[in-house]
Amino acid sequence: KGLLVCLGIACFTFEGIGLAIPVYESARDPLKFVPVYGATIFFMMSLIAVMSFLGYFCFGEDTNTLILINLGKGWVSDCIRIMFSLVMMVSFPLQMLPAIRIVESIFLMPSRPQTCDKHLKSAFRVLFVLLVAGVAIGASTALDNFVSLIGAVCGLPLAFIFPAICHGKLVATRGSLLAITDILFVAFGACVTVAVGLENILTWGKKA
């Protein structure tokens, strides 16, 4: 579909970047964190690049956004799809828990004993899951655009804008080269976020 859509999908992988600092602080030997983190990121980038190349090498222009669709019929393909579905269902509660806890802290008070607070919290979680399911159903018509849009709105700011703002407030002095670099990162992140977001909205659901 284009470079901007691809860039948004790539930036979707930054969704977990916010956990880097907590993991660093909880590491037994923080001095080893940077090389381990760098090696891990390099390995994941290489794995994603190799799998993407192999997908397009095998299926070419007919490659689907969800490549499992390209596997065709047969018991092996069916087993792979079933295992993928099971992994998604089993990991869903783990992925939802942090988001639900954050939203609950905004809209709900802490649970009190001998009250219906637990039932209210359970009902809130059910509604939250239904909302996520509705978004998933609506976005299923253009999965690539949806993932790219999330990458633009959430991944790009986490990768470029927020770290530069924090660095500018905590480390860089006003007018220094570091401060100018932070401003450039924020401007770059904001421009790319808007560009990728608009590209996905304008090409939503369209074939390449």
Contacts of 139 (CB under 8 A, 6+ apart): 145, 146
Q: Residue 207: its pLDDT value, please?
A: 64
SS (H, E, C) the chain: CCHHHHHHHHHHHHHHHHHHHHHHHHCCCHHHHHHHHHHHHHHHHHHHHHHHHHHHHHHHHHCCCCHHHHHCCCHHHHHHHHHHHHHHHHHHHHHHHHHHHHHHHHHCCCCCCCCCHHHHHHHHHHHHHHHHHHHHHHHHHHHHHHHHHHHHHHHHHHHHHHHHHHHHHHCCCCCCHHHHHHHHHHHHHHHHHHHHHHHHHHCCCCCC
Which tens digits make up the pLDDT trace of 58-89? 888 787 777 888 887 888 888 988 998 898 88
* pLDDT cut 70: percent of the chain above it: 98
Q: Residue 89: its pLDDT value, please?
A: 87
Contacts of 50 (CB under 8 A, 6+ apart): none
Cβ atoms within 10 Å, residue 168:
20
Q: Residue 187: its pLDDT value, please?
A: 93
What values do phi and psi take at 77, rounded to 5? Answer: -60, -40
| Mean pLDDT, residues 177-186 | 89
Contacts of 118 (CB under 8 A, 6+ apart): 111
Q: Residue 208: its pLDDT value, please?
A: 57
Q: Residue 190: pLDDT band by 50, 70, 90 thresholds?
A: very high
Taking the CA atoms of 28, 34, 39 and 44 in sequence, report the sign of the dihedral they define. positive
**What is the average pLDDT value for the chain, to the nearest integer?**
84
Which tens digits make up the pLDDT trace of 111-160? 777 778 788 888 888 998 899 889 888 887 788 888 888 888 888 888 88
